[in-house]
Structure 1
Amino acid sequence: MVDLTSAATNKTNPARRKSKKRRLLCIFFLILLVLLVIISIWFCIFVSTVDIPKEGACSRHAELQPYYKGRGDIKPLLILVWTWPFGERFPLDTCLSEFGVPGCNLTIDRNVSDHADAIIIHHYDIMQSRDLLPKGPRPHYQRWVWFNFESPIIIKNLDMVENLINLTMTYRQDSDIFIPYGFLKQMNIPQTFTIPTKTKLVAWLVSMWYSGNRRTKYYEELRKYIQIDVYGKEHKPLNWEDFSSTLEQYKFYLAFENCGHKDYITEKLWRNAFGNMMVPVVLGATRENYERFMPSDSFIHVDDFSSPKDLSEFLLVLDKDDVKYKQYFNWRSRYTVERNIGWDTHFCKACSVLHQVNGYQTIPSIEKWFINK
Structure 2
Amino acid sequence: QNNREIVNEDFIYRLNENEDLPDVEEPVILWWTPFTGLNGVRDCGSVKCYFTEDRRFKTLSNLNAFMFYGSKFDVIDLPLPRNGIAHDWALLHEESPKNVPALSHLEVLELFNLTATFSRKSHFPITLQYLKNKDVLTDMKYFVPLNKKEELLSDLAPIIYVHSDCSTPLERDAYAQELMKYIQVDSYGKCNAIILCYSLSDPMKSMDSAEFLHFISRYKFTLSFENAVCEDYITEKLWRPLIVGSVPIYMGSPSVRICSCILLFSTGLASKQNSAILASDFKSPKELAQYILTLNSNITKYKSHLQHKLGNENEKITNNKLLESIENRKWGIDNDFDKGNFIEHFECYVCKHEHKKIVGDKIEVPSVNTDHYNCSKPISPLSGKENAENWWLDQWYMGRCEARVLKKFIEIGKNDYKYDEFYDELKNMFTNKSC
Percent identity reads 25
Deviation of 1:323 after TM superposition, in Å, equals 3.0
Distance 2:250 2:334 in 1: 22
For the pair 1:276 / 2:247, whether they are aligned, the reply is no
Deviation of 1:152 after TM superposition, in Å, equals 3.6
Match of 2:299 in 1: 322
**Which of these residues, 244, 253, 265, is aligned with residue 285 of structure 1?**
253
For the pair 1:300 / 2:268, whether they are aligned, the reply is no
Contact 2:114–2:368 (Cα < 8 Å) also in 1 = no
SS in 1 for 2:175: helix
Distance 1:109 1:326 in 2: 56
Change (3 A) 1:196 1:219: same
TM-score relative to the length of structure 1: 0.62
CA deviations over 1:233-267 (Å, ceiling 9, x no partner): 24422341532221122121111122322112122
TM-score relative to the length of structure 2: 0.54
Distance 1:101 1:133 in 2: 31
Structure 2, unpaired ranges of 5+: 1-24, 269-273, 310-315, 327-331, 357-361, 378-435
Match of 1:63 in 2: none
Deviation of 1:174 after TM superposition, in Å, equals 0.6
Match of 2:144 in 1: 196
Q: Which has the higher helix share?
A: 1
Distance 1:103 1:249 in 2: 49
Change (3 A) 1:122 1:212: closer
Distance 1:90 1:329 in 2: 43
How many residues end up aligned between the 2 structures? 290
For the pair 1:124 / 2:71, whether they are aligned, the reply is yes
**Which of these residues, 223, 235, 253, is aligned with residue 254 of structure 1?**
223
Contact 1:184–1:293 (Cα < 8 Å) also in 2 = no
CA deviations over 1:79-136 (Å, ceiling 9, x no partner): 4333345xxx57789987xx98974654333333443443320122123x42x22356
- Could you tell me which amino acid in structure 2 is paired with residue 293 of structure 1? C
Distance 1:285 1:156 in 2: 17
Contact 1:253–1:280 (Cα < 8 Å) also in 2 = yes
Distance 2:46 2:307 in 1: 34
**Which of these residues, 61, 81, 102, is aligned with residue 157 of structure 1?**
102
Change (3 A) 1:84 1:207: farther
Greater radius of gyration (CA): 1
Match of 1:346 in 2: 342
For the pair 1:359 / 2:329, whether they are aligned, the reply is no
Deviates more, 1:210-219 or 1:197-206: 210-219
For the pair 1:147 / 2:97, whether they are aligned, the reply is no
1:69-88 to 2 correspondence within 5 Å?
Answer: 78-85=28-35
Structure 1, unpaired ranges of 5+: 1-74
Change (3 A) 1:368 1:176: closer
| Cα RMSD, aligned residues only | 4.2
- Could you tell me which amino acid in structure 2 is paired with residue 176 of structure 1? H
Change (3 A) 1:227 1:176: same
1:18-167 to 2 correspondence within 5 Å?
Answer: 78-85=28-35, 103=48, 105-113=50-58, 114=60, 115-127=62-74, 129-130=75-76, 132-135=77-80, 140-158=85-103, 161=108, 164-167=111-114
